[in-house]
Amino acid sequence: MKPETIALHGGSHRADPSTGSVAVPIHQTTSFQFQDTGHAARLFALQELGNIYTRIMNPTCDALETRLAALEGGVAGLAVGSGQAATTFCVLNLCEAGDNIVSSTDLYGGTWNLFANTLKQFGIEVRFVDPADPENFAKASDDRTRCWYAETLPNPKLQVFPIAEVATLGRNLGIPLIMDNTAAPIICKPFQHGAAVVMHSTTKWIGGHGTSIGGMVIDGGNFDWAQHGDRFPTLNRPDPSYHGAVWTEAAKPLGPVAYILRMRTCLLRDIGAPMSPFNAFMFLQGLETLPLRMERHCSNALRVAAFLSGHDQVTSVIHPSVATGEAKRRADAHLAGGYGSLLGFELKGGKEAGQRFIEKLKLFYHVANIGDARSLAIHPATTTHSQLNEEEQAASGVTPGYVRLSIGIEHIDDILADLEQALA
């Protein structure tokens, strides 16, 4: 089925078997009653799959997990409490102290901090490389490299990551590529370009209404973790926390789901951070209209990019639609149906002009969020990137007059009018 249909019908939920409810019920419960002692024993032994306790699985979360996995073309999903938790789990599922990963430098600020500082506490090293040259990933890797990590459409530079090129290099070395696809749901399908795992901050476009924090990890089921067994001890070595289970073996009856199965049965069990059933319901609600909203987000952003490109107070516009050369080629090779709704531009007057522009906006909200149905704006140099010095800001693509917009689904005339009056 096509994305528009999967967003409404995909995954495990059809009608609730006990009530016939068409909408996914919010199973706001901690625990699930066992049928008898044998049933309880089989669930704990993983001989039968079923609900035990909401830290580990929940039917409302399952409806979201299976629907989003279907939408991305993966085999299974795991819902967690935030995008940050999703990224943390993606890495901890493969890495132990002494291991490393290679990551693109173009990252969400929270991910950068997690990688540069917090993972160090666990003895996990993150090697940052410039994605301009895909070979940089291979050059930075060694026997203890467990995965590569990048974002499809990272802001503020908004240069699409060369997923296909890097995934192919990785597969030749037996190293999986994990993609943060938060900013490009529907318009990019990382599994089609060779990624092994996809994560989302569902907080953004999937939720779409700025109400709930959540994250999702999706297993592509397309990476042979056993073939490269030495590189993935967490998946191929007997696990003492599960009677010596080897996850690549234990997953076999269920399909190619070793990665996500181990994440649920070990990391979610031990570290926690599940998504709440209520938030899963909110994300299901958002997901139903995501394909429609993305169309409008993208068509509005295209118009804003063209409008700003012709404005005399604007020195440059950053959006894949106006990229040139290799950046444009990468955008066109990986995006279909739109160039996303994040957009940056540089004001002639620098920092003061950037701040004044933000203050004059009436329709746009001034917030740190992105992917809301409403249009949003922020001045990164004085907010999200203010901890960096001017040199570091420049390296990350933030100039003093840079303004970041997340274009919403309002009528384009009203969006352009607000930008026009604030620029004036």
Ligand X SMILES: *Cc1c(COP(=O)(O)O)cnc(C)c1O
Q: Which residues are near ligand X by CB under 6 A?
A: 82-84, 108, 110-111, 151, 180, 182-183, 201, 203-204, 213, 215, 370
- For residue 110, the minimal CB distance to ligand X (Å) is 5
- For residue 318, the minimal CB distance to ligand X (Å) is 16
CB nearer to ligand X: pick between 60 and 111: 111
CB nearer to ligand X: pick between 83 and 256: 83
- For residue 346, the minimal CB distance to ligand X (Å) is 21
DSSP, residue by residue, 212-242: ---EEEEE-S---TTTTGGG-HHHHS-BGGG
- Return the residue nearest ligand X (CB atom): 83
CB nearer to ligand X: pick between 353 and 405: 405
- For residue 423, the minimal CB distance to ligand X (Å) is 26
Distance CA 414, CA 134 (A): 41
Q: Which two tokens stand for residue 340?
A: 């996303």
Is 331 strand, coil or helix? helix
- For residue 199, the minimal CB distance to ligand X (Å) is 8
Distance CA 151, CA 392 (A): 19
- For residue 104, the minimal CB distance to ligand X (Å) is 12
- For residue 251, the minimal CB distance to ligand X (Å) is 27
CB nearer to ligand X: pick between 146 and 204: 204
Which residue is associated with the tokens 């030749």?
172
For 399: left if phi > 0, alpha if psi spans -120 to 50, otherwise beta; the answer is beta
CB nearer to ligand X: pick between 314 and 370: 370
CB nearer to ligand X: pick between 151 and 418: 151
CB nearer to ligand X: pick between 407 and 422: 407
Q: What b/e string do you get for 387-399 counting C-beta neighbours within 10 Å, with b at 16 or more?
A: ebeeeebeebbbb
Q: Is the dihedral of CA 171, 188, 183, 155 positive or negative?
A: positive
CB nearer to ligand X: pick between 154 and 221: 154
Q: What b/e string do you get for 37-71 counting C-beta neighbours within 10 Å, with b at 16 or more?
A: eeeeebbeebeeeebbebeebbbbbbbbbbbbbbb
- For residue 82, the minimal CB distance to ligand X (Å) is 3
Distance CA 294, CA 205 (A): 8
| Secondary structure E strands in 38-157 | 76-80, 100-104, 125-129, 145-151
Strand bridging mode 215-219 / 314-318: unpaired
CB nearer to ligand X: pick between 106 and 418: 106
- For residue 69, the minimal CB distance to ligand X (Å) is 18
CB nearer to ligand X: pick between 62 and 151: 151
What residues contact 259, with CB distance under 8 A and at least 6 apart? 93, 196, 197, 219, 223, 225, 235
Residue 135 CA, chain-centre distance (Å), reads: 23
| Contact of 186 with 3, CB cutoff 8 Å | yes
- For residue 228, the minimal CB distance to ligand X (Å) is 27
| Contact of 354 with 400, CB cutoff 8 Å | yes
| Contact of 301 with 184, CB cutoff 8 Å | no
